[in-house]
């Protein structure tokens, strides 16, 4: 009996002092003491040889030793399980310190600034699909069936129905399609801004691309006049380019507006004195605008005798070129980190 008691006591002291450096060592300790061939199992085999008078006392000691060992192993396992759970939360794909400062894309910076300026005079944002049908892109906007903009040279067609042009499916060539969606689903007054990406079948160069970004505006209500349009555009130009900016409106033609105009601003690079950017004229064109054609209002279910409206549209790349003097449009879509890093402070 004394030999078994001594073994139990010695093993109890070992169990109390158990330590481990990782989960693998904890498992090794469990196997050493609690497995079928472990040290505590061997003591139970030895326990079978003691007398009946001694079994009650030594049995209690053995059971207590086994329970204490299991508790110690569980405690060590839980310790390293917590460490493992914390390690599982670590993102091993994360860039090591120091983490480089990110930046917004210049087109998004300017787009958000345009939206912010017009939001101050009551415009809200409306968005629509980039894959559109002919009616929303052309027919509802007073484009004649033979208009050259419908030609394959200018438009990316996805499905072209040669029997019924209105069923053509295409990539939108302007965000005016969002305006028609708004006019057919809402009653005036309507005051929306329509930002988004548009597509045209053009050769890619420093001055043109097959996709670009637009922001178009629409205001429809009773007694809306061309003077209201001019005032809104004057406000935008001064907010975007500075208080000393001047504007001029030149007569133009668009199928969906009448009268129509193109708006120039005084060159913000040479301040109107003439430079290479404005080709010596002192003026730079930034957008097209006009009063919504009555045919467009009627096509969208709005009574043109009761309501009038104005619309305008500008290219975000054009405004960004003026603001940051980016000479090559291709830089906007090439994802060159050196180019994007120039806008970290914007």
Interval 31-63: pLDDT, tens: 888 888 888 888 888 777 777 777 788 778 888
- Does 287 score more than 90 pLDDT? yes
pTM: 0.69
Residue positions counted in the chain: 346
Residue 97: phi and psi, rounded to 5, are: -65, 150
List the one residue out of 345, 294, 341, 285 whose CA is nearest residue 315. 285
Cα 156 vs. chain centroid, distance in angstroms? 25
- Contact (CB, 8 A) for 81 and 74: no
% residues pLDDT > 70 (the chain) = 92
Interval 180-236: pLDDT, tens: 999 999 999 999 999 999 999 888 887 788 899 999 999 999 999 999 999 999 999
Interval 140-192: pLDDT, tens: 999 888 777 777 668 888 887 777 766 789 999 999 999 999 999 999 999 99
Interval 64-85: pLDDT, tens: 888 888 888 888 887 776 655 5
Could you tell me the two tokens for 326? 């980016």
Strand bridging mode 190-199 / 169-171 = unpaired
Tell me what pLDDT residue 1 has.
45
List the one residue out of 282, 278, 243, 251 whose CA is nearest residue 266. 282
* DSSP run (H or E) holding 263: strand 257-266
C-alpha–C-alpha distance, residues 239 and 306, integer Å: 32
- Contact (CB, 8 A) for 33 and 15: yes
List the one residue out of 147, 197, 205, 192 whose CA is nearest residue 173. 197
- Contact (CB, 8 A) for 129 and 137: no
| 204 vs 290: which has the higher pLDDT | 290
Interval 107-144: pLDDT, tens: 999 999 999 999 999 999 999 999 999 999 999 999 88
Interval 308-334: pLDDT, tens: 999 999 999 989 988 888 878 888 888
């Amino acid at each position: 009996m004394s030999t078994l008691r001594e073994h139990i006591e010695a093993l109890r002291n070992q169990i109390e002092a158990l330590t481990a450096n990782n989960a693998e060592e904890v498992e090794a300790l469990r196997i050493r003491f609690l497995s079928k061939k472990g040290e505590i199992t061997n003591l139970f085999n030895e326990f079978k040889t003691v007398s009946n008078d001694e079994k009650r006392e030594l049995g209690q000691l053995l059971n207590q030793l086994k329970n204490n060992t299991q508790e110690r192993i569980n405690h060590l396992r839980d310790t390293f399980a917590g460490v493992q759970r914390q390690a599982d939360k670590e993102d091993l794909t994360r860039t090591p310190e120091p983490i480089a400062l990110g930046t917004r894309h210049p087109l998004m910076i300017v787009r958000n600034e345009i939206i912010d300026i017009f939001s101050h005079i009551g415009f809200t944002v409306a968005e629509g699909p980039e894959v559109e049908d002919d009616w929303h892109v052309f027919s509802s906007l007073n484009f004649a069936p033979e208009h050259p903009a419908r030609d394959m040279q200018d438009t990316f067609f996805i499905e072209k129905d040669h029997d019924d042009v209105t069923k053509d499916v295409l990539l939108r060539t302007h965000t005016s399609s969002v305006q028609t969606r708004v006019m057919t689903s809402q009653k005036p007054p309507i005051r929306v801004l329509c930002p988004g990406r548009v597509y045209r079948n053009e050769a890619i160069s420093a001055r043109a691309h097959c996709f670009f970004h637009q922001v178009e505006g629409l205001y429809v209500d009773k007694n809306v006049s061309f003077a209201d349009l001019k005032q809104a555009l004057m406000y935008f130009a001064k907010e975007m380019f500075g208080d000393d900016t001047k504007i001029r409106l030149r007569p133009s033609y668009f199928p969906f507006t009448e009268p129509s105009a193109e708006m120039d601003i005084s060159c913000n690079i040479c301040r109107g004195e003439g430079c290479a950017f404005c080709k010596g004229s002192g003026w730079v064109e930034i957008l097209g605008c006009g009063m919504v054609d009555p045919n467009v209002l009627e096509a969208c279910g709005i009574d043109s005798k009761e309501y009038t409206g104005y619309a305008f549209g500008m290219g975000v790349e054009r405004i960004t070129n003026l603001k940051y003097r980016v000479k090559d449009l291709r830089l906007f879509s090439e994802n060159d980190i050196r180019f994007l890093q120039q806008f970290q402070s914007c």
